[in-house]
Amino acid sequence: MGLLVDGQWHDEWYDTDKTGGKFEREAARFRNWVTVDGSPGPAGEGGFAAESGRYHLYVSMACPWAHRTLIFRKLKGLERHISVSVVHPDMVENGWEFREDDPAHQDHLYQSQFMHQIYTRAAPDYSGRVTVPVLWDKRQETIVSNESADIIRMFNSAFNGLEGVKSGLDLYPEQLREQVDSVNERVYDTVNNGVYKAGFATAQDKYEEAYSALFDSLDWLEQILAGKRYLTGSQLTEADWRLFTTLIRFDAVYYSHFKCNRRQIRDYPNLSGYVRELYQVPGVAETVDIRQIKQHYYVSQRTINPTQVVPVGPDLDFDAPHGREQVG
């Protein structure tokens, strides 16, 4: 675990001293957008037109933020247009890395050893954390974006004109945008990032704050899902997929490793049926790798788990019937 300072790698854990023990996530630095014709998007520079084969996605199977982008790539039918490299689940002294002897964890573009080399290839004097996902432009040899929230919006609409892309599937529909944004805001702060705030806190009060906000939100979501099939009604949207990637990791990792242990997701009837339903959407199960998820958190985060022993359980069955047909 570490970061780049003026293009040089430093092996350092998150500094929570200056925030009284609170974990604060660093904002992503590359915020350009792929658009249909290459005109600038909501932020950054233009010049990134949606073209088949031009872009490459760097992900970790363990990472909930990267997971969103893999789900969108799959659901939208973008696999033949956007290639992927997967980093190794162990993120230790050198940060995310590739393994020469492991075909599943190689950099297919440059055969890099470390993910930080991708960042310095784009910006030789880059300072900041080296995170996944990264959307890479093979043409300009640079990073388009390292913000998953933006990447899934690009995947939702920019590539719609390409062959085989499911242009009819809109996960951020105009009429639901306000609702989606509003759910996202609370879910991001208290659930997606909330589990990290609990897990990475180095002061009791900061942990407890995050813990309370997280379980208040899970109660709120459980309530919503009692009356609605999905978070904004009868249609699956971006808001659901953003919540899903945290829920699917919860019982295996966040409950124990991040001390989010008031309840497991399987103790919530609606949330647990809902996570199974989303898991069973065709294509999604292939994006879920519980073995790599557990391996990453328990091995990489040595300040939390110094022995690096990975727990065997819990037994999870996301293929069991979800029973959500009757809701809403």
Ligand X SMILES: N[C@@H](CCC(=O)N[C@@H](CS)C(=O)NCC(=O)O)C(=O)O
Angstrom distance (rounded) from CA 180 to CA 173: 9
Nearer to ligand X, 76 or 276 (CB): 76
50 phi and psi angles, rounded to 5 deg: -70, 110
Q: Applying CB under 6 A, does 120 fall inside the site for ligand X?
A: no
63 carries an active-site annotation? yes
Q: Please give the structure tokens belonging to residue 171.
A: 């996960």
Query: Shortest CA distance to 163 belongs to which of 43, 262, 51?
Result: 51
Query: Shortest CA distance to 296 belongs to which of 67, 56, 134?
Result: 67
Q: Please give the structure tokens belonging to residue 240.
A: 């659901």
Q: Which of residues 44-103 bind ligand X (CB under 6 A)?
A: 63-65, 95
Of the residues 35, 148, 190, 295, which one makes contact with ligand X according to CB under 6 A: 148
Of the residues 35, 120, 131, 264, which one makes contact with ligand X according to CB under 6 A: 131
Q: Please give the structure tokens belonging to residue 285.
A: 């199960």
Say how many residues touch ligand X, by CB under 6 A.
15
Listed in sequence order, the DSSP H helices in 51-176 are: 64-75, 116-122, 148-157
Q: Applying CB under 6 A, does 129 fall inside the site for ligand X?
A: yes
Angstrom distance (rounded) from CA 211 to CA 207: 6
Q: Which of residues 259-318 bind ligand X (CB under 6 A)?
A: none
Angstrom distance (rounded) from CA 229 to CA 315: 26
> Using CB atoms within 10 A of its CB, is residue 47 exposed (0-12), middle (13-18) or buried (19+)?
middle
Report DSSP state, residue 127.
Answer: -
Q: Which of 55, 119, 196, 274 is catalytic?
A: 196
Nearer to ligand X, 67 or 276 (CB): 67
Least Å from the CB of residue 12 to ligand X: 9
Known binder of ligand: residue 131? yes
Known binder of ligand: residue 45? no
Q: Applying CB under 6 A, does 198 fall inside the site for ligand X?
A: no
14 to 33: interface string for ligand X, x by CB under 6 A: --------------x-----
260 carries an active-site annotation? no
Of the residues 4, 122, 132, 299, which one makes contact with ligand X according to CB under 6 A: 132
Contacts of 310 (CB under 8 A, 6+ apart): 294, 295, 298, 299
- Residues annotated within the binding site for glutathione are 96, 129-132, 147-148
- Residues annotated within the binding site are 96, 129-132, 147-148
The residues of the shown chain that bind ligand X, judged by CB under 6 A, are 1, 28, 63-65, 95, 129-133, 146-149
Catalytic residues: 63, 196
